Amino acid sequence: MSEGDTGPVGKVGGTRAYTGRVISVDVDQVRFPDGSIGSLEMVRHPGASAVVPVIGDMSADPIVLLIRQYRYAAEQYLYEIPAGRLDPGESPEQCAHRELQEETGYTADQVDHLFTMYTTPGFTDEKIHLFLARGLTAGEAHREADEFVELAPMPLSAAMALIKNGEIQDAKTALALFYAAEFRIG
């Protein structure tokens, strides 16, 4: 909240409309910067972590471990980086390690924070913490019942081509790959 001429900007009241396994929905009463008050429907999410796993060395064109995951909302399989929501009391880094192992079976010697992003700040408070994982060791995946995942390792250049031709449609994946390619790999 920030202080303006008309009082503090931010939530002044509201009610919980729905509580689910993954999200909750609130109808908040909000004071806007001009002093007016209005209602906003807000999807509340505990946050998530996502990780760009790099297999082997960090050469100019390293192998990144993507997954192809069935997404009901998209009605198709999407290329993604491993990701999942934060458990209560879990740090974003712990979540990145856990999700990498659960979805791919791999563990990482090193997980470095890339950046944190809001997914859709117009209607949700969800933040995704993006990481780069190195020093991978293969193991056994432990996916949730609703996760239908295929491993899709490929050179970073091939993943970037999938973004360019529209085959990677997941925003967190495209942004994390661009960030890793520009600022952390090579």
Q: Are residues 38 and 52 in the same domain?
A: no
Q: Are residues 20 and 58 in the same domain?
A: no
Per-residue pLDDT of 38-85, as tens digits, reads 999 999 999 999 999 999 887 889 999 999 999 999 999 999 999 999
Q: Are residues 76 and 168 in the same domain?
A: yes
Q: Are residues 30 and 114 in the same domain?
A: no
What distance in Å separates the CA atoms of residue 186 and residue 182, rounded to the nearest whole number? Answer: 8
Q: Are residues 34 and 121 in the same domain?
A: no
pLDDT band at 5 (very low <50, low <70, confident <90, very high): low
pTM summary value: 0.90
What's the domain range around 145?
48-183
Residue 92, Cα to own-chain centre: how many angstroms? 10
Q: Are residues 102 and 175 in the same domain?
A: yes
| CA Rg value for the chain | 19
Q: Are residues 101 and 142 in the same domain?
A: yes
pLDDT of residue 118: 97
CA distances from 104 to 2, 81, 113 (A): 43, 10, 19
Please give the tally of structural domains in the chain: 2
Q: Are residues 174 and 119 in the same domain?
A: yes
Average pLDDT, rounded, for the chain = 93
Q: Are residues 102 and 163 in the same domain?
A: yes
CA distances from 36 to 7, 31, 123, 175 (A): 10, 6, 19, 35
Helix intervals (H) in the chain = 92-104, 156-164, 171-183
Q: Are residues 138 and 71 in the same domain?
A: yes
What residues act catalytically? 147
Q: Are residues 89 and 172 in the same domain?
A: yes
Q: Are residues 19 and 68 in the same domain?
A: no
Nearest to 114 by CA among 175, 68, 40, 66: 175
Per-residue pLDDT of 131-160, as tens digits, reads 999 999 999 988 888 888 999 999 999 999
How many other CB atoms sit within 10 Å of the CB of residue 128? 23
- Whether 2 shows a pLDDT value over 50: the answer reads no
Q: Output the domain CATH number for residue 106.
A: 3.90.79.10
